[in-house]
Amino acid sequence: MTQLTEISAVKCFDGVQKRFEHDSQVLNCRMQFSVYLPPQAEKEQSLPVLYWLSGLTCSDENFSAKAGAQRVAAELGIILVIPDTSPRGDGVPGADDGAYDLGLGAGFYVNATESPWQRHYQMYDYIAEELPGVIKQQFNISKSAISGHSMGGHGALVLALRNPGRFTSVSAFAPIVNPVDCPWGEKAFSAYLGENKQQWQQYDACHLLENKQADWHIPIKIDQGLADNFLESQRLTRPLEEVCEKTGVKAEFGYHPGYDHSYYFIASFIEQHLRFHAKHLKA
Amino acid sequence: MTQLTEISAVKCFDGVQKRFEHDSQVLNCRMQFSVYLPPQAEKEQSLPVLYWLSGLTCSDENFSAKAGAQRVAAELGIILVIPDTSPRGDGVPGADDGAYDLGLGAGFYVNATESPWQRHYQMYDYIAEELPGVIKQQFNISKSAISGHSMGGHGALVLALRNPGRFTSVSAFAPIVNPVDCPWGEKAFSAYLGENKQQWQQYDACHLLENKQADWHIPIKIDQGLADNFLESQRLTRPLEEVCEKTGVKAEFGYHPGYDHSYYFIASFIEQHLRFHAKHLKA
């Protein structure tokens, strides 16, 4: 039984925004995460949960403060669980040069096999196994869905595609979809997984779908801003749409002129994502 | 004609969140402020504006990122103008001990008369005169309303009460209503205005209303969280309600169990405030 420490609890849209801390066995460090409990949590037996995976540099607090998701979660009766994006704390290695796209805040939702990362950087297992265990122990959960932004969109897609039946639905904002072939992914995967690119493919949404190593019946919704600075350079979203077309996988892709990579984009469309997930979480 | 430099423009809820920079003649420094232009700004001749005054430690970016106001402003066709909370930059004095409640981020919306503050700390005139001039020069404005949080709630009330006809309506979240008699106000007013407490009263909403040195026909809406750490210690909200009762001034006061002083409280109720102002802005 994991011991959870409640760090804070703030009322928000008639529910409560909480932060917890716990010892992660998988990551070998102390971890914090945020949870939004909608008002229905006080009355109903069990509620659905949406896991939100954040992008590079974020902690569990960015989405909580900036996306405006609680308003809709309160209406729909959905618990939001927002993990951190990497292991943290004393003894957890970061990038030697303090880079924003490797190490702290950049766990990339993989299980590292290489030094010095492998002792702590096991974010895939943390999100796939340990954290849901902690959540189910603490709250009465019905079904689960998953969503994320950028690096977190990559994480959400990979976790959903590789674990059929675990999530009712997956969505993403401006996701890294083909990390084996973009600068962010190549840098992180080289460091965490080594030079054997075969090992990388298990964490690549395009590869998983193209090779049918995936649940391709799961409902997928992806939104992408067309003024996103990283759209071309990191090959966001579009390679996955091509794979979906080629393989006949059905997914909703929305492209939005003028929107960038920021939380202003997420805030503008989070309501649609929550309603998309609610449809499947409550089916 | 003030030269405005656009620092950034980010699409948000079909409108645009912008930041501008300009030389303030009143504050003798370079100032930044944020503006949200709803989608109607592209089509309509003129739009109403809501000025938002932030609380201690904030810049123009906190409300922009955290309150979720753009969604409702986009629906209602209201421009949001969000100034900084003090003068800034090289040469602008801050508190000697780096305190959060004096100097930078703590202008208190007064015109300082004391050294070393008086050269830059003229936030009352900046918000009352210079900034509205800049806004009217840049955008086609119909009517104006004003709102704010904590120190900014104080600023909004004082500005509205002292300038009859300038604003259609005023609202506040957890406002400092009686700064002449609370620790934050006493500290700031002593520094900025000196020891003659007569001079303080022109910046005290309770005093202005009680002494009928105010527009007391303006619609007023105030919300207050009952789990707000500062409610008792800074005597937020309640002294003004007492004055309103005594003087027969009509105002809407809402007290909300469980809510604290944070942006999670503001986000939960900002929609109601925007709809309150819209009713008067469009009357």
Q: What would the pLDDT profile of A84-137 be if each residue is shown by its tens digit?
A: 999 999 889 999 898 999 999 999 999 999 999 999 999 999 999 999 999 999
More confident residue, A90 or B23: B23
User: What pLDDT is recorded for position B92?
Assistant: 95
| Three-state DSSP string of A201-250 | HHHCHHHHHHCCCCCCCCCEEEEEECCCCHHHHCCECHHHHHHHHHHCCC
> Would strands B29-37 and B79-83 be described as parallel, antiparallel, or unpaired?
antiparallel
**B68 at interface of A, judged by CB pairs closer than 8 A:** yes
Q: Could you give the CA distance from residue A240 to residue A237 in angstroms, rounded to a whole number?
A: 6
Query: How many of the other CB atoms lie within 10 Å of CB of B57?
Result: 15
Model confidence at A280, pLDDT cuts 50, 70, 90, reads very high
Query: Per-residue pLDDT for A213 more than 80?
Result: no
> Which of these is catalytic: B150, B154, B207, B277?
B150
Q: How confident is the model at residue A44 (pLDDT cuts 50, 70, 90)?
A: confident
Question: Which residue in chain B is spatially nearest to A71 when comparing CA positions?
Answer: B268
Q: Which of A268, A270, A274 to mutate to test the interface with B (most CBs of B within 10 A)?
A: A268
What average pLDDT does range A228-257 have in this prediction?
Answer: 96
% of residues, chain B, pLDDT over 70: 99
| Dist. CA B189–CA B200, nearest whole Å | 7
Q: Which of A256-270, B91-105, B141-155 has the lowest mean pLDDT?
A: B91-105
Measure CA B125 to chain center: 13
Could you tell me the residue range of the domain that residue B183 belongs to? 4-282
β-pair type (A15-24, A29-37): antiparallel
Of A11, A265, A267, the CB nearest to B68: A267
Give which of B45, B44, B48 is closest to B168, Cα–Cα.
Answer: B48
Q: Which of B120, B207, B261, B277 is catalytic?
A: B261
Q: Examine the pLDDT at B244 and tell me if it is beyond 80.
A: yes
B65 and A70 in contact by Cβ < 8 A? Answer: no
CB A28 within 8 A of CB A120: yes
pLDDT for the residue A1: 67
- Kindly state the average pLDDT of the residues B100-120: 97
List the single residue in B11, B71, B258 with the smallest CB-CB distance to A11: B258
B261 classed as catalytic: yes
Domain count within chain B: 1
CATH number reported for the structural domain that contains residue A244 in this entry: 3.40.50.1820
Compare all CA atoms of chain A with the CA of B225 and give the residue at the minimum distance: A11
Q: Give the model's confidence band at B211: pLDDT under 50 very low, under 70 low, under 90 confident, else very high.
A: confident
Give the pLDDT score at B1: 67
Q: Is the pLDDT of residue A78 over 90?
A: yes
When pLDDT is cut at 50, 70 and 90, the band that residue B212 belongs to is: confident
> Residue B189 phi/psi, 5° resolution?
-65, -40
Q: Does B203 touch chain A (CB under 8 A)?
A: no
Range in A89-98, B5-14, B149-158 with the lowest mean pLDDT: A89-98
Predicted pLDDT of residue A10: 98
- Measure the CA angle with vertex A68, ends A65 and A71; round to 5°: 125
Instruction: With a threshold of 0.85, tell me whether the complex ipTM lies above it.
Output: yes
Nearest-Cα distance to chain A for B59, in Å, is 16
From the CB of residue A204, how many other CB atoms can be counted at a distance below 10 Å? 28
Å from A148 to nearest chain B CA?
A: 18
Task: State the nearest Cα–Cα gap between B214 and chain A, in angstroms.
Answer: 34
Closest-CA residue in chain B for A264? B12
| Average pLDDT of chain A to the nearest whole number | 96
Q: What is the mean pLDDT of residues B218-227?
A: 97
Angle between helix A69-76 and A263-281 (nearest 10):
10
Residue B146: which pLDDT band, with cuts at 50, 70 and 90? very high
Say yes or no: B12 contacts chain A, CB-CB below 8 A. Answer: yes
Check whether B148 has a pLDDT greater than 70: yes
> Model-level pTM?
0.96
Residue A214 has pLDDT above 80, yes or no: no
CA A252, distance to chain mean position in Å, is: 18
Nearest to B65 among A10, A66, A71 (CB): A66
> So what's the pLDDT on residue A9?
98
Instruction: Measure Cα distances from A158 to A86, A208, A280, B145, B253 in Å.
Output: 16, 8, 19, 48, 49
